[in-house]
Structure 1
């Protein structure tokens, strides 16, 4: 389990295909603290550490992950948001994040709001994932509060600190992002679908 509070940015240093899998090697400032078989969220995608060498570590993404996320679009030199799994007993500063991306979204607009930056995203609505005003959403692994919730669109307001310390600073209109909807909202939507 994760919280959506990004620990650091990593840099992709190597991408290697093996059949339908993709091995990603990432350089980070916490590599020396990692262990083989540990979970790390990369842009909100939970991946398992399979190799460690110096200040770089390797994780593997399978076809299912590549099909449902933006991981396959990464290039050598790209930054990724990183978060290690939550420790039991730690403070939950964000919200409950599973590291299981529900779908991707597209950045529709970026607007300066005099102190924050408002990003609007669109996604394909199928009824299984919903947003609500002031509810939680995870965008590329970042725990955020929804504003302007619509059927297939929502916005988030990013403070300068988050903008500077995550991949949000690299977003442009058209950027594909990973979305994990609030787990409680997913259960509510599922129950409504079964009873509706």
Structure 2
């Protein structure tokens, strides 16, 4: 379980394929605090630490994860948002994030707004995911509040702190991002579709 409050970022050092799996080795300031078998959200994707070597650690993604996320497009040198799992009893500063990406979305536009930014994303509605005005959504692991919710599209407002401390500064029109929709909203949407 995660909160969507990004702790730090990591840099992809190496990508190695092994059958249908891909091993990603990253360098991060929190590597010395990690343990083997620990869950860490990478751009919102929960991955397990399988190896640690000095300031670098390795996680493995299976084919299903590669199919549902933007991990298959990662390149060496890319910057990734990182969050360790929350501790029981910690404050929940963002919202409940499972680390299970629902689908990807595409950045439609980035608009500067007097020191902040509005990012608009499009997504395929065939997966029956929804957003609501002022509801929560996770973009590349970042817990955000939805503005301008539409069918298959939503915007988020990014403050300077988030822009500087996450990989939002690298997102531009055409960028593919990981989306995890609000867990309560997913249950409501599922119930609604079952009653049709």
Range of TM-score over shorter length = over 0.9
The normalised TM-score by structure 1 is 0.99
Give, in angstroms, the shift of residue 127 of structure 1.
Answer: 5.7
Give, in angstroms, the shift of residue 172 of structure 1.
Answer: 1.2
- Structure 1: tracts of 5 or more residues without a match: none
Give, in angstroms, the shift of residue 195 of structure 1.
Answer: 1.4
The separation in 1 between residues aligned to 2:9 and 2:50, in whole angstroms, is 19
Paired residues in the alignment total 196
1:126 paired with 2:122, answer: no
The normalised TM-score by structure 2 is 0.99
1:38 paired with 2:22, answer: no
Deviation beyond 2 Å, 4+ runs, structure 1: none
Other structure's SS at 1:190 match: helix
Map of 2:3 onto structure 1: 3
Partners of 1:25 and 1:56 within 8 A in 2? yes
Partners of 1:105 and 1:178 within 8 A in 2? yes
The separation in 2 between residues aligned to 1:97 and 1:115, in whole angstroms, is 28
- Structure 2: tracts of 5 or more residues without a match: none
Please say which of residues 121-130 and 131-140 is displaced more in the overlay. Answer: 121-130
CA offset digits 1:119-175 (Å, max 9, x no partner): 000000026210000000000000000000000000000000000000000011100
Other structure's SS at 2:125 match: coil
Other structure's SS at 2:110 match: strand
The separation in 1 between residues aligned to 2:49 and 2:128, in whole angstroms, is 30
1:1-196 equivalences under 5 Å are 1-126=1-126, 128-196=128-196
The separation in 2 between residues aligned to 1:113 and 1:32, in whole angstroms, is 38
